[in-house]
Chain A
Amino acid sequence: ELKVEQNPLFLSMQEGKNYTIYCNYSTTSDRLYWYRQDPGKSLESLFVLLSNGAVKQEGRLMASLDTKARLSTLHITAAVHDLSATYFCAVDSPLRTSYGKLTFGQGTILTVHP
């Protein structure tokens, strides 16, 4: 059974600071997704990481994947208040199918304050 663990679960950051959210998973997979969820809203896709060493960047967020370590990171650079949200990583089953079978982490609740 695939298990996905995120840490930290709660992150309180000052504006302008940097921090990293970690996502560890238990079985081999080379497809990992990061999502953002604002309070009362649905999940918004941020990044799709498809291979070992994959790195994607969008604005102040950068995600990477190390399939050998079974680890993905979401790095936040110079945080701003607008980044306050819950961030989820999700790992797809290693089986190649025409649909996804995602296992989600618990989510990291990020709060950015002045």
Chain B
Amino acid sequence: ETGVTQTPRHLVMGMTNKKSLKCEQHLGHNAMYWYKQSAKKPLELMFVYSLEERVENNSVPSRFSPECPNSSHLFLHLHTLQPEDSALYLCASSQATYSLASSYNEQFFGPGTRLTVL
């Protein structure tokens, strides 16, 4: 496997179910991200983990619970979701790159999990 992989690719769940999304990066990066992409909104950053520590949580409801057990794996645990949570959930990873003039964190994305909440 190369790059960033996500499983499952498609998920249909009821509002009372509990499920988990998995992301794995094979790039040796030290930061991982969860994004939500829904039809009528720009891509939204949900969580950021840097060196396995959560560093950003963008006012995401508690029914979404991230977990980062090591630098290569990221999970998003889902419970009691709402129909408006139906979206494409994208995982990304990055490694800080430094030069004399600047630093940057180019993010590489996985294929996404298409989630439908009934």
Chain A residues close to B by CB (< 8 Å): 4, 30-31, 33, 35, 41-45, 48, 50-51, 88, 90, 92, 96-107
Contact = CB atoms under 8 A, between A and B. Distances in A.
Contact of B111 (A41, A90, A92, A96): A41
Interface residues of B, number: 28
Contacts, number: 75
A20 B55 CA distance: 36
A101 B45 contact: yes
B104 to A, nearest CB: 5
Given A99-B50, A99-B96, A101-B45, A51 B102 contact: yes
Contacts of A42: 90, 109-112
A45 B104 CA distance: 13
Contact of A48 (B45, B90, B104, B111): B104
B114 to A, nearest CB: 8
A104 B107 contact: no
B12 interface: no
